[in-house]
Amino acid sequence: MSLLRLKTLLVACFSLFALLSVTNSFANESTVAAEGQIANAEKKEGDFNVTETILEHIKDDHSWHLWGHTSIHLPVILKTSKGFEVFSSEKFVDEHHEPVVYKGNFDYKLIEGKTKIVDASGNLDAAASKQLWDLSITKNVASLFVSVFILLVVLLSSAAAYKKTGVKTAPKGLQSFMEPIILFVRDEVAIPNIGAKKSGKYMPFLLTIFFLILTNNFLGLIPFFPGGANVSGNIAFTMTLAVCVFIVVNLSANKSYWEHIFWMPGMHWSMKLFLAPIELIGVFTKPISLMIRLFANITAGHILVLSLICLIFIFKTVFASAIAVPFAVFIGLIELLVAFLQAFIFTMLAAMYIGMATEEHHHEAHEGAAHH
């Protein structure tokens, strides 16, 4: 029991340290951002743009900020009418970290965080920009690669350990950490929603979704490299996951599932005509709800923490710091729970939709038994 209490205390101390480091890191970055705003935008002394600062921390970027003015410049990959072009995002800023025009096959410039083609005077060339395909490795893409690498190392190491020691021996190391989570997804998510017979077929898909979301949620809470990217708060990421769920659900759907959508059994034909469009719309609204739910919850959590920290720079008093920092730490602790909860909810709803699509309905048997 004493060992368990010690582990719990260590986990609590580590979590508190991590959250305080988040607060300190954001404070340093916000100070630099505030100084830049005052110097570059010629604003009054002490003015602080809260909206710009918060959006700067949650949006995607072509570089990965480390500290101060030090960043990792990521590759820019463009497809234009003149072919492919690859260069470093460092070309978009000068030695003073001010935005500049890069002259390649066209004149390129970052406008609102997106690569655009501009004319000789630096104004947006809308016609040419429409033919521009931006395939760059941005901060979110790089963070996604990091999370995939972490998952491969952890899961392949655990799998290799199982092959070496077998499943009858007690798990050790990464095995002891991963096994309860995998069993939780199987026993609490897959089997109750899909069924014991069919759940094994979809376990790799459900585990991939769960661990991918969970890893990116946790990385998003870490303020320093390789964390800090808002991958789960990116609508493109959540949309891709939702589309994957949509494809799996509809490819797995049986005849009974489609019958319930287009021609509801046991109802008058007039009601069937009325319900068919509604049920068909539901096929598309389910993945849309998955996409928006994950995106909104993760983004809202980041905005709330950042807003509390910004109170320090708005009021510039010790009293504001005494209130904002504890609240930010408290919300940060809740964010740890939300990171796991959102991965669980997304996976559970995906399993529920798969279960609904593969469920066997026995209308005819029930109706025959009722007649007898």
pLDDT tens readout for residues 205-237: 999 999 999 999 999 888 778 888 889 889 999
CA atoms within 13 A on the CB side of 342: 29
Sequence-separated (6 or more) residues with CB below 8 Å from residue 201:
none
* Omega cis (within 30) before 75: no
| 321 vs 144: CA distance, rounded Å | 34
Phi, then psi, of 234 in degrees rounded to 5: -100, 125
Under the banding of pLDDT at 50, 70 and 90, the label for residue 362 is low
Q: How far apart are the first and last CA of the chain?
A: 62
Residue 363: beta bridge partners? Answer: none
Place of tokens 């505030």: 34
Could you give the CA distance from residue 285 to residue 304 in angstroms, rounded to a whole number?
A: 28
How far is 217 from 205, CA to CA, in rounded Å? 18
| Partners of residue 67 on adjacent β-strands | 70
Closest CA to 224 of 338, 71, 47: 71
Distance CA 298, CA 294 (A): 6
Q: How far apart (Å, rounded) are the C-alpha atoms in residues 312 and 283? A: 46
What is residue 2's predicted lDDT score, i.e. its pLDDT?
A: 43
Q: What's the burial of 294, exposed, middle or buried (CB within 10 Å: 0-12/13-18/19+)?
A: buried
Does the reported pTM lie above 0.85? no
Segment 59-109, tens digit of pLDDT: 888 888 787 778 888 999 999 888 899 999 888 888 777 888 998 889 998
Q: What is the pLDDT of residue 292?
A: 93
| Cα gap 226→222, rounded to integer Å | 8
CA distance linking residue 206 with residue 120, whole number of Å: 51
294 CB contacts (<8 Å, ≥6 apart)? Answer: 213, 232, 238, 241, 342, 346
Token couple for 84: 């492919």
State how far the Cα of 87 lies from the Cα of 341, in Å rounded to an integer: 39
167, 87 contact by CB (below 8 A): no
Token duo for residue 108: 């390129």
pLDDT tens-digit map of 263-299: 777 777 788 788 888 888 988 999 999 999 999 988 8
Integer CA distances (angstroms), 157 to 32, 153, 176, in order: 41, 6, 12
